[in-house]
Structure 1
Amino acid sequence: MPNAAEEKTQPCPACGAEIRADARFVIWCASCDWNVDPAPEEEHNRLDRARRALARKHGEKLLAEMTDGENLRARRDAPSVLAYVIALAVHGVTVVLASAGAWCLLSGWGVPGMVLGGILLVAAWVLRPRPPGLPEDALVLHRTDAPELYALVDQVAQVVGTRGADLIAVDAEINASVMSYGLHGRRLLTLGVPLWETLTPQQRIALLGHELGHYSNGDTRHGLVVSTAYRSLTTWLYYFAPIARPSALDMVVNVLYVVPRLLVHGVLSLLDHLTLRATQRAEYLADREAARAASTEAAVGLMDRLLTTDSVAVTLRREANNAALTGPRNTRKADAGTDELWKRLAAHMASVPEHEYERQRRVGARRGHSVDSTHPPTHLRRTCLLSGAPTPAAVVTDGERENRIAAELADARSKVARRIAREGFDG
């Protein structure tokens, strides 16, 4: 809780209502919304702005359908089928490039045929559909390293109707995610330590329920065919990007790249339009699974935590800056105190007053805040969770289990803390 030095009382300049606030956070008026959103919204690139506009549009429509009780389980609607067709066409271009390259090499055209064939085969190789591999900077925990954490994940997975993760990794992101990797589609669950450490035990279960819920509900965009097509199109866009500070020859190349760049950008935007509704449907359904696993209260609490990730980032940057000031002579001392970073972060987040959460909720509603440009706005997700009867928790933990999981994560927590202390935090 804020101490007396942090509390502040003043009249609202706009309506005169009394404002009692924590001086560590924005001072605002709950009666008239004076100063509720003092910072300008960050700029996004054109594709990101279009995605956010679509996210708001689809999010509001899907919320109405969810609260009306419509069955929104994953289904192959016309947009999803068309998205698969386009994705197959993208992969078809790769097949054509590979076939043309092989034909040039075998056609007997001599050196020109060999050069052209080689170029086409290299292009096909770069654009080939391939599932992602394991992240290079993540710290992987195997079942033998964290049996209690894996057991909790398996228990949550059983509740949401899927299987658990094949691997669990931790990193320094204020996030969590699931992905399929490798040719056999193995599952990786990645937990960002900065997010995990700010959550209550039930909110952590809600987080696991949400992430694993993506597997039980389906998501066109994250299916193998469409996701690898996205990757190929993004690669094309990278190679067709205009050359910076161009020479005369580079300017000609830039002009020649305009049409193919616009074409690739158009196909990428079309895939966004076709798959965004299914992606957002999957998010709403994953939120429901989070509530089933951990309770509606915990799932809503998780939504509130996601609204305050900026505060987490500011706290971690401050901690990293303080660690940098200790200098190389005190590196051993700084390393010894890295575990204290998580205690200070958890204490800071526990002290965030309710009026700051309310301010963030109001700002989120104004801006259409979402976790990223493909998620439904957070305030709509929160509204959806609160629209029905409260759901009790199907999975609960006790103090002993929480301590065992904390012990299994202790080494990884220390490594992530040392990374933040030595390299800074850029999340």
Structure 2
Amino acid sequence: MHTDDRFTVWCAACDWNVDPGRPEEKRGRLERARRELARRHGEKLLAEVTAGADLRPRRDASALLAHAIALAVHGVTLAVVAAGVLFLVAGWGVPAMIPGVFLLALAWPLRPRLPRVPDDRPVLRRDAAPELYGLVDEIARVAGTRGVDVIAVDASVNASVTTCSLRGRRLLTLGLPLWEILSPRQRIALLGHELGHYSNGDTRHGLVVATAYRSLTTWRYYLAPIARPTPVEWFVNLAYLVPRTLVQGVLMLLDRATLRATQRAEYLADAMAARAGSTEAAVGLMDRLLVADSVVVALRRETNDPRARRRDSSHAAWAAGMWDRLAVHLRSVPEHEYTRQRRAGALRGHSVDSTHPPTHLRRECLLAGVPVPAAVTSGGDREERIAGELAEARATVARRVLRDGYDGYDS
């Protein structure tokens, strides 16, 4: 057995201790159903890929059902608005204005909303980061789409793309803890994956369905049962039981109608990652996702170091070197730990979240195809210029992590 004091000791021959007694997270019924569907759809889609099936996006009955449900959700919101306006303008007197104001106040947070460009994290504009935007544009051409309009940086072990307005402004969010532990080719694969979502027809990320999800999630928040209720609150919980069950049922139905298309979109985005950065780089990206827990542990260790608490020159120096120390730590992770994580992921169905196929299946899917070379390359000079463009954001996020602590993947 290979041993390293920093990681779990296990046996590669018999899988002893490959996934030691980790307590299972407490998840709600919807989250458990999502993860089970993700596992089943992921396995089925992997079988289709290895059999040579065509996974290109297409309009089917599930997509039509998802849009019908989403339009019905927006219709309910519109009905609440109409009822509120009716109470206010019908001339029924002052008492009727109270439910009118209440209904309009209720409908306001339920309205269809698009994400906004964040104002609580560093944002890089095109004129301030021409090399990074140029790299994104080059990868976007390979993906058959256009680039992004805004790039934001945060402290999550993640990356994402989203549409921020009806005009179609695109936002790319780069989590520095993930970006900093990737090689240049793996970064290209990461960007290829994210930009691939724009050309894969992911139903769940479309305007109509995505905004309906947000409305349903808001309804579920409003109708959540009160913990440790008083006798009066107990009756409130009881009154909420039927509408809460209805909202939960609609969410689960929308999940079933969209999850297979979302899983398909993830596999297609992975294929785009391989096309942009090479199959080898895309597989390496999957491995980095498997050891994301090590990133979280390393950042928590950084925040607990006495130098992180000082307010002198040593603190500034500690913050300046944080990302380099994180990259060094991840480079020191032994191969047998990656192997253990892959086997443990196969046992427990590791995935980035409940909408992604299990990570080990995504890795298998990449390895099942014919290896492809990188369509986009980035030399040392370009990497240095991109690092310079990110320097201020790196310092800002590092200071925030050391000041506020690190809670996990979405800090």
Q: 1:281: which partner in 2?
A: 264
What is the one-letter code of the residue matched to 1:370? S
Q: 2:150: which partner in 1?
A: 167
What's the % identity of the aligned pairs?
Answer: 67
Deviating more after overlay: 339-348 vs 84-93: 339-348
Give me the CA root mean square deviation.
1.2
Could you tell me how far apart the structure 2 residues matched to 1:127 and 1:83 are? 18
Deviating more after overlay: 312-321 vs 135-144: 135-144
The Cα shift of 1:329 comes to: 4.8
Selected match of 1:306 from 284, 289, 293:
289
Could you tell me how far apart the structure 2 residues matched to 1:377 and 1:55 are? 7
CA offsets 1:4-28 (integer angstroms, 9 cap, x no match):
xxxxxxxxxxxxxxx1222221111
Q: 1:345: which partner in 2?
A: 326
Q: 2:159: which partner in 1?
A: 176
The Cα shift of 1:68 comes to: 1.6
TM-score w.r.t. the length of structure 2 is 0.97
CA offsets 1:160-186 (integer angstroms, 9 cap, x no match):
111111000110111101111123221
Q: Is the 8 A contact 1:137 1:171 kept in 2?
A: no
Q: 2:20: which partner in 1?
A: 38
Could you tell me how far apart the structure 1 residues matched to 2:119 and 2:5 are? 40
1:369 aligns with 2:387: no
1:417 aligns with 2:398: yes
Q: SS state of the match for residue 2, structure 2? A: strand
Q: SS state of the match for residue 162, structure 2? A: strand
Q: 1:108: which partner in 2?
A: 91
Q: 1:255: which partner in 2?
A: 238
Q: Is the 8 A contact 1:41 1:367 kept in 2?
A: no
1:207 aligns with 2:201: no
What is the one-letter code of the residue matched to 2:244? R
Matches within 5 A, 1:166-245: 166-245=149-228
The Cα shift of 1:328 comes to: 5.5
1:77 aligns with 2:60: yes
1:120 aligns with 2:103: yes
Q: Is the 8 A contact 2:302 2:308 kept in 1?
A: no
**Structure 2, unpaired ranges of 5+:** none
Task: Specify the structure having the higher radius of gyration (Cα).
Answer: 1
Q: 1:29: which partner in 2?
A: 11
Q: SS state of the match for residue 30, structure 2? A: helix
Deviating more after overlay: 191-200 vs 335-344: 335-344
Q: Is the 8 A contact 1:312 1:345 kept in 2?
A: yes
TM-score w.r.t. the length of structure 1 is 0.93
Could you tell me how far apart the structure 2 residues matched to 1:198 and 1:328 are? 24
Could you tell me how far apart the structure 2 residues matched to 1:326 and 1:368 are? 38
What is the one-letter code of the residue matched to 2:241? V
Q: 1:406: which partner in 2?
A: 387
Q: Is the 8 A contact 2:193 2:273 kept in 1?
A: yes
The Cα shift of 1:146 comes to: 0.7
The Cα shift of 1:218 comes to: 1.4
The Cα shift of 1:388 comes to: 1.4
Number of equivalenced pairs: 407
Could you tell me how far apart the structure 2 residues matched to 1:91 and 1:207 are? 34
The Cα shift of 1:137 comes to: 2.5
What is the one-letter code of the residue matched to 1:423? D
Could you tell me how far apart the structure 2 residues matched to 1:202 and 1:41 are? 35
Could you tell me how far apart the structure 2 residues matched to 1:27 and 1:241 are? 42
Could you tell me how far apart the structure 1 residues matched to 2:105 and 2:400 are? 37
CA offsets 1:108-159 (integer angstroms, 9 cap, x no match):
2112221122112222222111112123432100011110000000000000
The Cα shift of 1:41 comes to: 4.6
